[in-house]
Amino acid sequence: MPASHLQPWSFYGRQIELQQLEQVLARGRWFFMQISGRRRIGKTTLIQQALQRAGITRTLYIQIPDSDPAGVVAACNAYLETFGIDDRADGLAGLASLIGRLARAGYVVALDEFQYFHRRPLFDFCSMLQAEVDGLAAQAGTVPGGLIVLGSLHAEMTALLEDRDAPLFNRVTDVLHLDHLDIASILEILHTHADNDPNRLLFFWNLFEGVPKFYRDAYEQGVLASGRREALERLFFASSSPLRGEADNWFLRELRGRYDMVLQYLAAHPGCSNADIEAALAALSGPGDARQVGGYLKILAERYRMIERRLPVFAPPRARSGRYYIRDNFLRAWLHALQRPVSSVAFRPMHELIAQSDERLQESEGHALEDLAAQLYQERSRRGLGDFNLSQRIHGYWDRSNVEIDLVAVDEDSHRLRLATCKRNPARLPGAIHTLRTHGARFLAAHPRFADWTLEYAAIAPHITPGLRSELAGLGVIPQDLHDLTEGLAP
C-alpha cells in the first residue's frame, strides 16, 4: 500500500473561509453569495464542507457548460434529476424561476462556472435572474434558502456582478475569494501523507503551489511520498495520469496563437520585461506582432489573470521597471517543463522524457524558491513566528545598473532591513555573498533613508548543512533553509 494511503484524506486549511461561509448559512435567511478563484482551488469542496457542518441537505449543484441556451437547460435538468428534484426548466427563464422556487423551499443552489453567462447567447439569463433575486431579497426574512455562484474567470465574474450596468449589480450579499492554500496547510498535507523533507516541499510547491485538488491527485496516485520521477510519471506521463490534460483543458483551451507564444516565453524567462517579450516575438514572427505585445499582456493579466506585472520594492506604481511573471506555478511548470515531453510520450522512451522534464523543473525551482521564501516570511510574520516582523509585503529589488537582490524584507518598527539571496543549490551560497553585499551597498546608495537602519544579510536554500551554516555565519550572513523557515508552521 502506498505510504500516502496510510492516512485518509481530510479537509485541509480554509478555516477562515469555512467560518465565513458557515456564518452565512447560519442566518437562515436569503443570501446571494459570490465565490471566485482559479479552477481546482477548492470552491466546490468548501461549499460541501460548510453544508455538511451546517446539516443542510436541501441542495442543488449545477455546473454550467460552455454551451448555448439549449445545452445549458439540458445540463441543468440532468442535475435536477441527479439531485432527486422533480421540477424541470423549459428555458433560461424557467431556470431562473426554478431557482427562486427552490430558494423559497429552503434549498441552497450553487451555480458553478457562472462566468459563462457573460457569453452573448446566455447573457439574457442575468436579467431573468435579477427579477427573481430582487423578489427574494424583498422577502429575505421569509426565504430560508440561498444562491451561490462560483466562477473562475475574474474579469467576466466582475462584469456580471460588479459592473454598474450589469443586471445583477449590487445584488450579491456576500463575497468570498479563494486563493491558494497557505504553506502551513501544505505542510500539514505533506506531514500527514509523506514527510518533512524540504526538497519535497519545494518540488510539490513548484508544481502545485496551493491548489488542493492537485495534492489530492498525488495522494490518490500514491506519490506524495515517492521520488520525483515516479511522481512525474504517475501524475503526468502514464496513460491514466490525472494531470496530463489539466493545463490544456482548463487554462489554454480559450487561447490561440500569440497568447500561447507569450506564455511560453514567460514560462521559460520568468521576470522578463516588456522589451524582452517584444524582441522575442519579433524574432519569431516579425515586428508586427511585437507591436501588439501590450494588448496581449493586458488581456492575459486582466481577463484571464494568468500573468502579473511586478515592480521592485519601493518603486512607484507607474514605474517602467516592471517585470512579468506567470501567476500560477502549475501553468508555468507545465509550459516550461512538461507540455512538450508529455505530448511526445508516444514517440520517445518515457524515462528519457521524464528525465528531461525533471531537469527543467529543477531549473524553475530556483525562481520558485524565491517566491516560497517570500511567502514563508509573510506567513511567519502574520503568525508572530521567527525573528523578523514584516511591515509590508516582501519583494525583490532590481534597477537599470544590474543590481539584483532576491528578497528585501522591511521591519519599520525596529528599523531593520534584511537582504537575502536564494539558491536552490546550497553550494552556491558562499560564492553569492560578495555579490549580495555589493548590490546591497548600491541599494543603500539609491535609498539613503535606510542609512541608519540595522542591515542584515541572509542566505537561503532548501537545506543547509551544519558545516555550511558555520561558513555562512563566518561570512556575516544569516543561514536559513526551509527547515528554519517552516519551523512552527508544520504540525
State the average pLDDT over residues 36-48: 94
pLDDT of 175 > 90? The answer is yes
Residue 297 has a pLDDT of 92
**H or E stretch at 25:** helix 15-26
Q: Is residue 118 part of a domain?
A: yes
Which of 144, 177, 210 marks a domain boundary?
177
With cut-offs at 50, 70 and 90, classify the pLDDT of residue 1. very low
Asked if residue 95 is part of any domain, the answer here is: yes
> How many other CB atoms are found less than 10 A from the CB of residue 16?
10
d(CA 285, CA 289): 7
CA–CA separation, 339 and 243 (whole Å) = 11
What is the Cα–Cα distance from 420 to 436, expressed in whole angstroms? 7
For the residues 177-191, what does the mean pLDDT come to?
Answer: 96
103 confidence band (pLDDT: 50, 70, 90): very high
> How many Å from the N-terminal Cα to the C-terminal Cα in the chain?
24
Helices marked H in 198-290 — which ranges?
198-208, 212-220, 228-232, 246-247, 258-268, 274-285, 287-290
Contact in structure between 332 and 310 (CB atoms under 8 Å):
no
What gap in Å lies between CA 64 and CA 269, rounded to an integer? 36
In a domain, 307, yes or no: no
Evaluate whether residue 373 is within a structural domain.
yes
Q: Could you say which of 118, 151, 177 is where a domain stops?
A: 177
Confidence tier at 4 by pLDDT (50, 70, 90): very low
| 240 has a pLDDT exceeding 80 | yes
Nearest to 406 by CA among 392, 390, 394: 394
* Res. 3: pLDDT tops 50: no
How would residue 257 be classed by pLDDT, with cut points 50, 70 and 90?
low
pTM equals: 0.93
The pLDDT tens digits for 377-414 are: 999 999 999 889 999 888 899 998 889 999 999 999 99
Within a domain: residue 354? Answer: no
Provide the mean pLDDT of the chain: 93
Q: 148: domain CATH number?
A: 3.40.50.300
At 414-438, the pLDDT tens digits run: 999 999 999 999 999 999 999 999 9
Residue 193 lies in a domain: no
In a domain, 70, yes or no: yes
Number of domains in the chain: 2
Point out the domain boundary residue: 156, 177, 198: 177
Q: Is the dihedral of CA 382, 388, 389, 391 positive or negative?
A: negative
Residue 456's domain is classified under what CATH number? Answer: 3.40.1350.10
What pLDDT is attached to residue 251? Answer: 72
In Å, what is the CA distance from 362 to each residue of 15, 359, 369? 33, 5, 11
| Domain coverage including residue 377 | 369-486
| pLDDT one-digit tens code per residue, 104-163 | 999 999 999 999 999 999 999 999 999 999 999 999 999 999 999 999 877 889 999 999
